[in-house]
Structure 1
Amino acid sequence: MNADEMFPVFFGIWGVLGLIGFVMFFLGKDAQLKRKLWKPFVIATGALFIGFVCFMGFGGETLYIMVPATVLITFLNIRSTKFCDACGKTIINQNFLVEPEFCSKCGEKLQ
């Protein structure tokens, strides 16, 4: 399979992952389950992205940029996302310097 044939597969899998992630992490209410699944989901998604980059024929110097960038984005996604035990809201912190203390939806103190 060449890169032109692979792109629709990549796009389809990425869309399914986006839908699963949205339903699980933004519509779901179980904070414990979200915490349990968030890190593996984000790491697997990053690894899948790097795998697609390699499979589509990008390599060498491209990977010198893509791998560290993907690792950094994965780390920041894991670090900046919290889940409220009271209401189940997914809270994505936009300010990397200060962690949120309270839920923006219900006001409960975050873990």
Structure 2
Amino acid sequence: MRRSGSWQSVWDDRILEAIEVDEDGVMSVGDLTENDYIRISNSQISDRCKKLAEHGLLKKVGHGVYMITEEGSAYLREEYDVQQGRFINQDQVEDDSTGVSERSDT
């Protein structure tokens, strides 16, 4: 299960997924607006990309152009906790699924 931040919207996952599958992991707001998977306005996409960049899931590389970061890719793979701002190791994922509260730092 993806661990999103309290500030995230459903569109954030779709934006990240669209950029992740792009050939070079870089897309403009205009390209995202034309994507049928994302059904919000150009200005809303721009706002969401800015917010994702503020939280390290995207990186702004030009005017209205963003690339996905390692954190953004890890979040999509369920390996990054956005709310905590940290990568999740496999032991934590297994512990969480069994309800065990102790964590392994190895």
**Which is richer in strand?**
2
TM-score calculated relative to the size of structure 2:
0.29
TM-score by length of 1: 0.29
Larger Rg: 1
Higher helix share: 1
* Larger RCO: 1 or 2 (CA < 8 Å, sep 6+): 2
